[in-house]
Amino acid sequence: MAQTKGGQVVIDGLNMFDVINIIDKKSRRYIANTMDDLEMVLGKDTEAFVHARKIFLDAFNDYTRSILVSLFGNIEGIFGENNFGR
């Protein structure tokens, strides 16, 4: 159940910022593993890798953003320029 606590959303005892940081860490790990796989298959310096990398990163970032917006509404700018509290 979502509640507000000091202007922050709390879901099942997790602070909004904790949830965002967990999602960010997991997505970064997934992205890194996928980029390694793409690099091995396509080769790092190929045009195909550059295009595939851009398509994947754009789509994955849009997907992650849509999850966060679904959970918390518009969170753009909360942490600065795509900084998620780091």
> How do residues 18-30 score in pLDDT, each as one tens digit?
888 888 888 899 9
> Does residue 80 form part of some domain?
no
> Does residue 82 form part of some domain?
no
Residue 85 has φ and ψ, to the nearest 5°, of 80, 10
- pLDDT value at 80 more than 70: no
Can you tell me the distance from the alpha carbon of 75 to that of 49, in angstroms, rounded to the nearest whole number? 31
Torsion of CA 73, 26, 13, 63, to 10 degrees: 20
> Does residue 85 form part of some domain?
no
Q: What is the mean pLDDT of residues 28-57?
A: 93
> Does residue 83 form part of some domain?
no
Structural domain including 22 reads 2-72
Can you tell me the distance from the alpha carbon of 82 to that of 76, in angstroms, rounded to the nearest whole number? 8
Mean pLDDT over the full length of the chain: 79
Two tokens, residue 54: 């851009």
> Does residue 49 form part of some domain?
yes
Total count of domains within the chain: 1
Q: Whole-model pTM?
A: 0.62
